[in-house]
Amino acid sequence: MENLSLENFIKGIPKAELHLHIEGTFEPELMFEIAERNNTKIDYSSVEELKSAYNFNNLQEFLNIYYTGAKVLQKEEDFYDLTWAYFLKAKEDNIIHTEIMFDPQTHTERGIPFDVVINGISKAQEKAKLELGITSKLIMSFLRHLDQNSAFEVYKNYEKHKEKIDAVGLDSSEVGNPPILFSQIFSKAKNDGLKITVHAGEEGPPEYVWQALDILNVHRIDHGNRSLEDVNLINRIAQQQIALTVCPLSNLKLKVVRDLKEHPLKKMLDLGIKVTVNSDDPAYFGGYINENFLATAKAINLTKEDIYKLIKNSFDASFVCDSHKKQMFERLEKYYSKTNFIYK
């Protein structure tokens, strides 16, 4: 048995990421580089000044900056470079499979063609599979601050790109924009055979999680933290083994939790919920998936078994076929049976 530091144990363990917004991986350095080559202006004069604006009191304060940053993306190669940079980071972190969300309306609303966005992302996905051995799925997310008609408008692109799109999602400003407002578009997507994952219970009440389950028929819930306020809801989630894709550093930066020591991840595990660890918008929240695991493990004393379970959950809750899941489980087992860590 090889004994590693906690950090190296986390670094080496093969893992999957299920909650990642590609626009949220836009590092300031790359943002400035792309802005310069496109001759567009950023409201900040330097990388440092931009980074110093990354202090958020809630989800909306973050979203305002996140949507502004995304405006720099204009050409297919911009979307390609953004996605490829994420895959290189994923490789360093030993991510073997990732399910990437993108927000088409953020781009189509400002006149960027849907094809430009999806073709750039999808070319990077293909290259990552060939050259880095990382598999991925693509989740087309609807912006809930826009209405259902707008979601239907963007969904018109699905038919042409159906090979590239595996699932649909719902994100952006949660409070005041409940899942029920999007029942028809998700019903259509379900009929088309797409998987469904929806942000709910990040800032919104347990009622929104109920709606996501009962009305949108989701396969997974993104975040879901506030489900813990409702015993019946949490029992339902545990019983049906609906995965919650939790994002600890995001929760800290958006003040969903005051301190990582108070993060409910361990409690969720103990309740038998299929919870996973993810990075959400790592360029804005101070860390990619390994930093999320490390900071949380230290804050709430995750055991080796907890980390194993969290990663097993991520493979299990992914949208890949059973034989692909089995391959990922085997890689995990191999590492787990040979490697230990010590808290220092």
The token pair at 189 is: 């997507």
**DSSP summary character for residue 298:** H
From ligand ADE, Zn ion, none, interface partner of 24 (C-beta below 5 to 8 A by class): ligand ADE
Decide if 226 contacts 204 (C-beta within 8 A): yes
What phi and psi, each to the nearest 5 degrees, are found at residue 56? -120, 140
> Is 103 a binder of Zn ion (CB under 5 A)?
no
Q: Of 18 and 307, which CB lies nearer to Zn ion in the complex structure?
A: 18
Site for ligand ADE in 16-35 (CB under 6 A): 21, 24
In whole angstroms, the minimum distance from the beta carbon of 277 to ligand ADE comes to: 14
> Is 171 a binder of ligand ADE (CB under 6 A)?
yes
> Is 250 a binder of ligand ADE (CB under 6 A)?
yes
Q: Which residues of 267-305 are buried (b: 16+ CB within 10 A; e: fewer)?
A: ebbebebbbbbbbbbbbbbebbbbbbbbbbbebbebeee
From ligand ADE, Zn ion, none, interface partner of 172 (C-beta below 5 to 8 A by class): ligand ADE
Instruction: Tell me the residue number closest to ligand ADE, measured at CB.
Output: 171
Q: Of 101 and 328, which CB lies nearer to ligand ADE in the complex structure?
A: 101
Query: Is 202 one of the catalytic residues?
Result: yes
Contact residues for 260 (Cβ-Cβ < 8 A; gap 6+):
248, 252, 295, 296, 299, 300
Q: Three-state DSSP class for 94?
A: coil
Angle at 276 (CA atoms; ends 275, 282), nearest 5 degrees: 140
Q: Name the segment binding Zn ion (CB under 5 A); options: 69-77, 83-91, 272-280, 325-333.
A: 272-280
What phi and psi, each to the nearest 5 degrees, are found at residue 220? -140, 160
From ligand ADE, Zn ion, none, interface partner of 274 (C-beta below 5 to 8 A by class): none
The token pair at 163 is: 């090979």
> Is 99 a binder of ligand ADE (CB under 6 A)?
no
Side chain identity at residue 209, one-letter code = V
Site for ligand ADE in 195-224 (CB under 6 A): 199, 202
215 burial (CB, 10 Å; 0-12 / 13-18 / 19+) is middle
In the set 76, 81, 93, 281, which binds ligand ADE (CB under 6 A)? 281
Q: Of 17 and 202, which CB lies nearer to ligand ADE in the complex structure?
A: 202
In whole angstroms, the minimum distance from the beta carbon of 34 to Zn ion comes to: 22
The token pair at 139 is: 């989740």
In whole angstroms, the minimum distance from the beta carbon of 146 to ligand ADE comes to: 12
How many residues make up the chain in this entry?
Answer: 344
Helix (H) or strand (E) holding 150: helix 148-155
> Is 280 a binder of Zn ion (CB under 5 A)?
yes
Q: Three-state DSSP class for 239?
A: helix
Picking from 159, 79, 90, 158, the residue whose alpha carbon sits closest to that of residue 122 is 79
> Is 170 a binder of ligand ADE (CB under 6 A)?
no
Site for ligand ADE in 261-280 (CB under 6 A): 280
Q: Check 23, 27, 99, 202 and give the catalytic one.
A: 202
Q: Of 24 and 179, which CB lies nearer to ligand ADE in the complex structure?
A: 24
d(CA 225, CA 4): 31
Decide if 254 contacts 199 (C-beta within 8 A): no
From Zn ion, ligand ADE, none, interface partner of 42 (C-beta below 5 to 8 A by class): none
Per CB under 6 A, residues contacting ligand ADE are 21, 24, 59, 171-172, 199, 202, 250, 280-281
Catalytic annotation, residues: 202
Per CB under 5 A, residues contacting Zn ion are 280
